[in-house]
Structure formats: C-alpha cells, structure tokens
Chain A
C-alpha cells in the first residue's frame, strides 16, 4: 500500500514526508509526469501560493495523471493549499483555475487580519461520529474556501474562531485547511487514520 506525495518543488515536502514516514507508512515523493496507478493514496501537501502550485502541476504534466487517479475513487488528501487546489476558481495573486472537484471558490481572508495563523479548535454543526472534531490543529493560511450553499454538505468542520472551512470530504476526496503534519498529537492521529483506516471503498 504505497502513499504518494505530490512534490510541487516549493512546498514543505520534508515535513510531510517525515510525518508519514515516522508513522510507518510506505511513502514516496512523486516528481514529474508519472503513472500514479501504483499508489493507493495520494497527498497534496501544503505551504505555497495556489497559482504557483497549479503552474508546477502543469509543468510536471501531472494534472491528467491526477484526474485519472481521482476517477478511480482512491483516497486523496489535500492539506492547506493542497486542499484549496481541489476547488474551482482560486483568487490568489493573479488568480487561476483549480482542479475543480468542488465547485466553490477560494478567496482572500478577512479584511484586517489578512492571515489565519495559530491553533484553532475544529468543530461541526452536524452530528458526525468522527474522532477528529473538537480538537486543536495548526492553521497558517491567507486564503480560504468560500463555500456555495449546494456544497455545504461536503463541509465536515470549521474552525471555531474564524469560521473558516477546515475539513471537507466528497466521496474519497479529503481536504483539510490546517496542517496535520504540524499539529503534534492531534495531527498524528488524523494522519494515522488516513494512512491505515481510509480505504479505497467510499467510507
């Protein structure tokens, strides 16, 4: 069961790699145009601006490979900007198109504060039997998902202070706005679950 981490060159690839590796996952960094069939799960890491990330994915000719992978309904996990690129229009910088698995857009954060940096408690209004709610995770971002009413059903949790969308899930596409690889024990628990308990069946 191999897990692949997409490398967009300018991202925190090392900390993502070690967080999986230290948990005993069979993990590999994915570089250029590569057939992704051998992977059972794929990670889109965080830290980066979304236009820079999309640009690299195009340059590395990975977009079609990613689309093929997602169509098999194998699990993918997007972290921070890795979650944002799963959405439609990304308004960061000069703006660009995301991968479009969610129809909603990604927009700039609040007027005054500009960035959401720090530990936030992640909560849900819905009744979920999900172990990862009501826990603190580390956030560091300046853009956020602006959800469309019809996509509200994909939102699992928001942070309890800024209300930004913190966890989304649609079929086997998972996204988190926070950094599990930087969230100490709570993050480790979350990643462990993704590695060992999320399977290719739509859970």
Chain B
C-alpha cells in the first residue's frame, strides 16, 4: 500500500476560492494564492485547482492564477477547467502544473493520445463525476447522465493511456455523509491504476473508513475549506489510525 495522498481540491471563480454543495451555490472561501501557501505549509501532498468559470462560461481555462501560484509553492499541482485541446494543456504544464484534469467522454481519446505523446501518460488525470438517481450511481457530464453502468465505464477509461482517475460523488459533495464505501470497494477490486476519490467526506472517521476500503488518494474540499480541520491534523489522525502517510 502506498502512502495516502491528501489533496485539497480548490474551485476558482473570478480568481477567488469558492466552495459549494452538490456543484451548486458557491460561496466565497478566500484568496487562492495565500490558501495554496498555507496548504503547502500544512503538508498537502498535492493541490488540485479547478477553474469553474471555464466550465460555466465554456471558455478555455484561465491560467493567470496558476502563473501566480507557481511562483510561491513547490507542491505538485493538478489543473482543470474545461480543457479541450492540446494547446490548453501545453499552456498549463509549461506554466507549472504537473497534471491536467480532463473530463472524459468519447471525444477525449484523441486529446489523451496527444497529451500522452507529448508529456507522458502520468500527466493525465481523468475526472469522472458520479450522480445518484433512484439510489443508483450514474456517470454524469455537463448536467446530464451519459452512461448507466459506472463500473464498465470506469474500467474502460482506466485502460486508456492515462495516469490516474479522479472520481467525484457529486450528489454527496458538501453533504458530509462519507464516501460510498460499497462502490469504492468494488472499483478498487477491479482497477489498479491510481484513483483519487472526492465527495462527501465530513469527518476524520469517514476518512479512516475510506482508507480501509482501499482509497489511496483523497481529495478534500468542504472539510478543509469550511470546517475546523487542517491537513496536518488530518494526516496526524491518519497516521494514528495505522495508515501510511507522508510527513
């Protein structure tokens, strides 16, 4: 088992940090640059930065903030925000991100190939969003369900030339009810490439439960942005619970 990665997930709107519930109702949560510096001093293992404006306005990702962050931190960065062509990726990586977050659909294959050829497969993190409808999870993109069988879909994506997958339980986001353990166990038993999970974590015990289910990468939004937690404290808890973590 590798060391657990704790990855703060930062959503950006108008160069400000925001946080919402179930991908909606975003509230201001501070300055992203000072937040990144603070997260680094708390020993965040990576930082995931997502340009929400790019998704909402369907524009190219704005890297002006990334440019500023990179002068201040030496923490690995994954950057996302409606990335749809190789020129976006070039801009993002030359300006200091290590990985790009790509929202997969059938049109992504060509982009994945060009990124892997130029930067290597490890620079690609595929984002898969799951939404719960009638007590069943489905694959969700751009406001609609695009695929029913999540395991078949995730398996298919995991076989592409990519580095890792980030799975978000959208319906649980900001709800603090914990990750869906049954789903995680099933995914982990079938897929061996690195996976980061996000959506619904609200307590330290829930983090422990998720790790026991096989989670190696945990992205945290609400717990870090709006609750009385810091990464150092979370990592200390994980260590005390008997798991491997970096200090």
Contact = CB atoms under 8 A, between A and B. Distances in A.
Do chains A and B interact in one complex?
A: yes
Interface stretch (B96-104, B132-140, B146-154, B174-182): B96-104
B58 interface: no
A19 B216 CA distance: 28
B98 A11 contact: no
Contact of A114 (B94, B193, B216, B246): B193
Interface in A117-147: 117-120, 136, 138, 140-143
A141 B120 contact: yes
Interface string B50-65: 0000000000000000
A47 B118 CA distance: 9
A184 B119 CA distance: 22
A113 B216 CA distance: 13
A48 B70 CA distance: 18
A162 B126 CA distance: 23
A9 B93 CA distance: 10
A115 B164 contact: yes
Interface stretch (A65-73, A175-183, A195-203): A175-183
B3 interface: yes
Interface string B77-104: 0000000000000100111111100000
Main secondary structure of the interface of A (DSSP, over half): mixed
Given A10-B93, A48-B118, A113 B193 contact: yes
Interface of B: 2-3, 5, 40, 43, 45-46, 67, 70-71, 74-76, 90, 93-99, 116-123, 163-164, 192-194, 216-217, 246
Interface of A: 9-15, 18-19, 22, 47-49, 51-52, 81, 92-93, 112-120, 136, 138, 140-143, 161, 179, 181-184, 187-188
Q: 5 nearest interchain CB pairs?
A: A112-B192, A15-B96, A115-B122, A14-B96, A119-B246
